[in-house]
Structure 1
Amino acid sequence: MHTPLHLRTSAAAMIGMPVKNAHGGVLGKVRDLAVDPAKDTNHVAGFVLRRAGKERAPGWVSIESLERTQAGDLRLRPGAEVRPVATDHEYLLLDRDLLDQQIIDVHGHKVVRVNDVDLAWEGENGHAPLRLRIAEVEVGLRGALRRLMKGLPRPLASLSEQAAARIIPWEFVDLIERDPARRVRLKIEQNRLAKMHPADIADILEELAPAEREAIFASLDEEVAAEALEEVDPKLQKALLEGLDSERVAEIVEEMDPGAAADLLAELPDERSEAILEEMEPEEREEVEGLLEFSDRSAAGSMTTDFVSVHLNATVEQAVEALRGFEGDADTVTEVYLVDDDDRLKGVVTLPRLLLASRDTLLQGLAETYIVSSGLHARDKAVAELFDKYNLRSLPVLDDEGKIAGVIHAEQVITQLREE
């Protein structure tokens, strides 16, 4: 909606503006702009005033009690008065709670700082009550310069409007409720959040201040929280989990890759780790506990127990059914493993070969001519050399009986190499 220039203003421009009585006397100056989230999140409800004269207590005037003169001055309507600020009411104050605070730019997948809030006057025809609509949040240079140049002569101050504007529509801004103070963020609906890459969510969490970070993480569902948690470093992982009870952490850990879950729990104090394990479902707990027995610098310490295996006499159709029933992260699956009656590894079939074959084809005929594997206790350096030598996408890890204990994916090797 286009708003004429003379009806536009901003929070920075309003703060310090005098409010006058019907005779032109100054009653006080705008100290802050208040929004009543319970009633209307799109309009300013009123102003908190720094009163003129000897009155020390801040005053309150509602927007409906004001009128604007042709010169742009604010005056109280006849019969209206400055009232005490209601202490029992939860207002969002634009200066206190929004300006200079961090919010999430959902579209840019990053954290930005609020420099100003753009406003638009409504109800100027003299019949409808005066209203002040919140249009957008300024996160670019224009808002910063506008505040920096406030109070300078108009020709100089107007230079700020020539700067590039970076704005976020107000309808994307929502409250994060937390104690002891409130902050704001861009509203991230679950369906939109689910479409964001976990690495982008992790970047956002890393940029936020601790309290905002914890509030955002606590709002995520278990699956999204698990994916994001796998993308952040161990120090931040522990910080994100500190404010959550063991039951909630267990729900998140159960959604993680077992190898990543074991790495996470290994970094926590034993008492905390044991409390989380006790809250987990028996099957998931057993998987993670088994991985905790191995060094994180060994093949077993880097592997996941989520993989797809079928009998070596299976057909393509049976392999596809196994893939459909796979409950792990399907994006990590690059091969199907063939095992005998004793679950020993006998072959590897890549997904491209599987997809190009007819449904009744026996998998044995599609298997690679050689099998590259690792033992449980192979060091991470030896594992990396195997990936490099054979250009692997994944590597099966075998126990002493030749059974598949787990699989290492290339991304785990890359992460380890980056850490070194």
Structure 2
Amino acid sequence: MSAVHARRTTVATLLGRPVLRKDGSSAGRIAEFLFRGLQSTTHVYALVLTRNGRFRGSEAVTVRTEHLHLQADASMLVAEDYTPEPLVEDATSVLLERDVLDQQIIDVHGHKVVRVNDVDLVWECEDGRACDLRIAEVEVGMRGAMRRLLHGLPPAAVESVAHRFMPRVIPWEFVDLIDRDPARRVRLTVEQDRLSKMHPSDIADILEDLAPAERDAIFKSLDEEVAAEALEEIEPKLQRSLLEHMESSRVADIVEEMDPAAAADLLSELPEERSDAILRQMEPEERQDVEELLEFAEDVAAGMMTSDLVALPEGSTVASAVQALRDFEGDVETVTEIFITNAHGGLCGVVNLARLLLASADTPLREVQEERIHCCRVDMTAKQIAEQFDKYNLRSLAVVDEQGKLEGVIYAEHVIALLREER
């Protein structure tokens, strides 16, 4: 049984290297690496050869890797029993030097955007047989950059310098093409389960670092809930840019998943015609919540509050409160208290979640409610609200109208976000 030998190399190392025919004459120099995404996840389909090793589509020919043999000392590639074929690209074609090197991709582990400096390859050869060239990783650190910088020097000298730097690689299995935009960008494949585990702030930071083409393609690939959470963390100018070319119906689906206060802030930054078009596409209940908030200035309580809260009538028990939390369709992570209202919708009690969890199911909510109720009027200014949060160390602050009817709630994160904008 033939032994399989694996030897590692890189795109930068092989570019410009000669490929010989079986009789020792030159078949050309390596100018590119043809990868067909739908045929294999890692296999390089063919090497692209030219006379001078520089890529010119009209003069390029391809040699499929099954016709190549790596010499024992790995110093030379030999093309055996092959017929040169013209380079033909299709919708799945990727040329590694052109389409991958120097492109920006997302490092999901580091939660940042990085640049591809090299692509690591593995030659897998059986004794006396042709080789298979496999893509292993993309190099995003200084090791790959040094190979590119010192290209043309003796390979041993280049590797000696490059290996002084720690490798920073991303497995090829995480790399995929963005939806066919003209620039043929490359990004990390971010599956929904991976993406859902990333913090919205991390996704926002990544989007802010990307060029417009990559940014739009990544954002359009997100599901509505993840897109909504990320959008809340992005500055208004970039929000407008991301939504500019999207269908109003798709934007409406995203806005419906946003906190109503954040959705109102977003729509208030858009042209009125665009904002109205999005509102018309929204479900009636979500549209009403947002439209009510759009009537108020952003720097007063009514403009800062959200209507996403959990409120129960007097006489409710702990069991009914727990069920209300389970049925809550808003962002449950923001909920810190449950509010108690009377028959007229007036605020008459607040229950901390910690007390709720410690009480038995049949306990009336009034027995575990806070001794004091902190609330503010709809016209209280942002500065006054911030002072309330600071003075009483609040997690949330109920907002009521002139008659004491519960209108919404302001969470600490809303105050922090506003103070950050004012800095």
Q: Shorter-normalised TM-score: what interval?
A: over 0.9
Question: Which runs of 4 or more aligned residues in structure 1 lie more than 4 Å from their structure 2 counterparts after TM superposition?
Answer: none
Shift of 1:25: 2.6
What residue in structure 2 maps to residue 130 of structure 1? 131
Shift of 1:59: 2.0
Q: CA RMSD in A?
A: 1.8
2:13/2:155 contact within 8 Å kept: no
Separation in 2, partners of 1:83, 1:172: 31
What residue in structure 2 maps to residue 300 of structure 1? 302
- Go from structure 1 to structure 2 and tell me whether the alpha carbon gap of 1:350 and 1:52 turns closer, same or farther (over 3 Å shift): closer
1:147 correspondence with 2:148:
yes
Separation in 2, partners of 1:189, 1:87: 27
SS in structure 1 opposite 2:303? helix
Once the two structures are superposed, what CA deviation does each residue of 1:266-303 show, in whole Å capped at 9, x if it has no partner? 11111110100000001111110110000111111111
| Letter paired with 1:294 | F
What residue in structure 1 maps to residue 24 of structure 2? 24
Once the two structures are superposed, what CA deviation does each residue of 1:336-376 show, in whole Å capped at 9, x if it has no partner? 11111111011111111222222222222222222221111
Separation in 2, partners of 1:28, 1:153: 19
What residue in structure 2 maps to residue 75 of structure 1? 78
- Go from structure 1 to structure 2 and tell me whether the alpha carbon gap of 1:12 and 1:52 turns closer, same or farther (over 3 Å shift): closer
What residue in structure 1 maps to residue 33 of structure 2? 33
The within-5 A match list for 1:189-200 is 189-200=191-202
| Letter paired with 1:44 | V
SS in structure 2 opposite 1:120? strand
1:309/1:338 contact within 8 Å kept: yes
2:268/2:275 contact within 8 Å kept: yes
Shift of 1:87: 4.3
SS in structure 2 opposite 1:182? coil
Shift of 1:39: 0.8
Shift of 1:335: 0.9
| Letter paired with 2:134 | R
Shift of 1:397: 0.8
Separation in 1, partners of 2:50, 2:393: 70
Once the two structures are superposed, what CA deviation does each residue of 1:364-413 show, in whole Å capped at 9, x if it has no partner? 22222222211111111111111111111001111122111110000010
The within-5 A match list for 1:12-411 is 12-51=12-51, 57-71=59-73, 72-78=75-81, 80-88=82-90, 90-127=92-129, 129-154=130-155, 156-157=157-158, 158-411=160-413
Once the two structures are superposed, what CA deviation does each residue of 1:98-144 show, in whole Å capped at 9, x if it has no partner? 111111111222211111111111124123x3211111111112111
SS in structure 2 opposite 1:45? strand
2:228/2:254 contact within 8 Å kept: yes
Gap runs ≥5 in structure 1 = none
| Letter paired with 1:41 | T
TM-score (norm 2): 0.93
TM-score (norm 1): 0.94
Aligned residues: 414
1:315/1:360 contact within 8 Å kept: yes
Separation in 2, partners of 1:377, 1:202: 31
- Give the fraction of aligned pairs with identical amino acids, expressed as a percent: 57
| Letter paired with 2:80 | R
1:149/1:160 contact within 8 Å kept: no
1:307/1:333 contact within 8 Å kept: yes
Separation in 2, partners of 1:337, 1:89: 56
Shift of 1:27: 3.2
- Go from structure 1 to structure 2 and tell me whether the alpha carbon gap of 1:69 and 1:359 turns closer, same or farther (over 3 Å shift): closer
- Go from structure 1 to structure 2 and tell me whether the alpha carbon gap of 1:394 and 1:60 turns closer, same or farther (over 3 Å shift): same
Shift of 1:257: 0.7
Shift of 1:9: 0.9
Shift of 1:229: 0.8
What residue in structure 2 maps to residue 413 of structure 1? 415
Shift of 1:88: 4.5
1:263/1:296 contact within 8 Å kept: yes
